[in-house]
């Protein structure tokens, strides 16, 4: 059975990761919340969603999961650990007595409850009293329309965490924060905050020089080893990464030389690219770096399934650097003038390569849970589409293992 899972980050007001909303389907034809009622829900969960491992998906953070009226009435949330999930009550669920009773039961057992895509009506007052979080989709209810609502029901909202959903720009993020929202969901973090001609700091220049060193056609391993040994932070991250659960090593690696030997030159280059990118702007949320590593790994794996003019290692680099403009808040063209990458990689990063544009669009749609994308529906039986769920889970594990070393 094909299982499609994606997670969307939720941030605090200081852009720290709060948790993830989880989206999943059993296939491209079967949306999870609409499972036939004749199918035992517990069996579906145990045979599909839990096969991934909750910790692998959430990385220790809380997960927001949508539940339909039918699933709430069947007490399905009780199959999940209460400390790891937040029950999302879908917007089309009416405050009927049996629903209120179910929510009271979940609440009494320690579960947190969120009202999803909320549109205020007085009839929801009892639901509001039971919930811990309310999510407002600002595409459906724009921020400018929410002020009067907040003023009129302010007392009811005092105990509630407000989550602003579909935040796509930094202007929306700042406006929502000023209005009193506590949590934020959307892809504003993956776009440049300010496109300007600002210069790079000395540390950023140094990091770009290291990228240049490993980007050479024949990099000198001894030179790279010396550079790593001279940087305590990179040395620590390399040893932590090589000894992480991702590699499942029976014995620990204790030296930089042994770590380099174990990884090999190509994997070492990828590691250095990631570590440099992750440290090049400490003001950016870690989730942006995680986002970049996930995309890089998925691009690399796709190269083993489809024919391109790029090697898998090159596609890893393109995927990783595809968000560099957001990381440095600079135009991509200006950044590429400072990095010694090949012309075909630069063309891909500048959007000039049609194949990479299509691949990037496909992977981005998968990451965001947009499985109604035309490419998924048109090619849902293709080898690439069928492998994307496994590629995504492997990429999550790789990204989380790397960033756990921070």
Per-run averaged pLDDT (10 residues), the chain, 406 residues: 77 93 68 39 48 72 88 86 89 92 95 91 89 93 87 79 94 93 93 65 66 74 80 80 80 86 84 81 85 93 90 89 88 84 90 92 87 66 83 88 64
Q: Rounded to the nearest 5°, which phi and psi values hold at 130?
A: -90, -20
Domain map (residue ranges) of the chain? 4-190, 202-403
Instruction: Give me the pLDDT at residue 322, please.
Output: 92
The residue whose two tokens read 């199918």 is 39
Determine the topology of domain 4-190 in CATH.
Answer: TIM Barrel (3.20.20)
pLDDT at 235: 83
The CATH number given to 202-403 is: 1.10.3210.10
- List the one residue out of 285, 284, 308 whose CA is nearest residue 360: 308
Residue with the two structure tokens 């393109």: 318
- Cβ-count burial of 52 within 10 angstroms (0-12 exposed, 13-18 middle, 19+ buried)? middle
Measured in residues, the chain has a length of 406
Which two three-digit tokens encode residue 51?
């096969």
Looking at residue 175, its pLDDT comes to: 94
SS (H, E, C) 157-203: HCCCEEEEECCCCHHHHHHHHHHCCCEEECCHHHCCCCCCCCCCCHH
| pLDDT in the model for residue 352 | 94
CB atoms within 10 A of CB 330: 21
Say what the pTM is. 0.79
pLDDT of residue 348: 94
Per-residue CA distances from 208 to 229, 259, 267 (Å): 18, 23, 18
């Amino acid at each position: 059975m094909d299982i499609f899972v994606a997670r969307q980050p939720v941030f605090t007001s200081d852009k720290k990761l709060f948790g993830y909303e989880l989206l999943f389907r059993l296939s491209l034809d079967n949306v999870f919340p609409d499972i036939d009622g004749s199918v035992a829900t517990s069996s579906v969960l145990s045979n599909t969603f839990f096969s991934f491992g909750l910790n692998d998906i959430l990385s220790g953070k809380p997960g927001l999961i949508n539940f339909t009226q039918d699933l709430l009435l069947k007490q399905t949330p009780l199959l999940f650990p209460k400390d790891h999930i937040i029950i999302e009550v879908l917007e089309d669920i009416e405050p009927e007595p049996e629903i209120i009773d179910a929510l009271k039961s979940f609440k009494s057992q320690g579960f947190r409850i969120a009202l999803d895509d909320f549109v205020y009506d007085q009839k929801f007052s009892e639901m509001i009293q039971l919930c811990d979080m309310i999510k407002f989709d600002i595409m459906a209810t724009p921020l400018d329309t929410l002020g009067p609502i907040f003023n009129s029901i302010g007392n009811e909202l005092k105990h509630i965490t407000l989550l602003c959903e579909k935040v796509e720009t930094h202007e929306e993020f700042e406006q929502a924060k000023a209005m009193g929202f506590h949590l934020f969901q959307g892809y504003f973090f993956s776009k440049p905050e300010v496109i300007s001609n600002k210069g790079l700091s000395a540390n950023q220049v140094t990091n770009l020089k290291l990228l240049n060193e490993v980007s050479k056609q024949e990099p000198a391993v001894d030179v790279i080893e010396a550079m790593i040994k001279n940087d305590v932070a990179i040395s620590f991250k390399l040893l932590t990464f090589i000894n992480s659960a991702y590699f499942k090593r029976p014995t620990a690696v204790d030296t930089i030389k042994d770590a380099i030997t174990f990884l090999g030159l190509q994997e070492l280059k990828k590691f250095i690219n990631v570590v440099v990118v992750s440290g090049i702007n400490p003001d950016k949320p870690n989730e942006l770096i995680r986002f970049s590593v996930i995309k890089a790994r998925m691009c690399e794996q796709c190269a083993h399934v489809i024919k391109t003019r790029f090697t898998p290692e090159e596609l890893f680099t393109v995927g990783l650097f595809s968000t560099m403009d957001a990381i440095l808040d600079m135009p991509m063209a200006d950044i590429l003038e400072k990095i010694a990458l090949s012309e075909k990689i630069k063309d891909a990063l500048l959007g000039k390569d049609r194949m990479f544009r299509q691949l990037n669009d496909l992977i981005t749609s998968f990451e965001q849970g947009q499985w109604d994308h035309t490419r998924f529906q048109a090619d849902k039986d293709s080898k690439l589409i069928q492998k994307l769920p496994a590629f995504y889970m492997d990429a999550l594990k790789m990204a989380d293992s790397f960033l756990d070393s921070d």
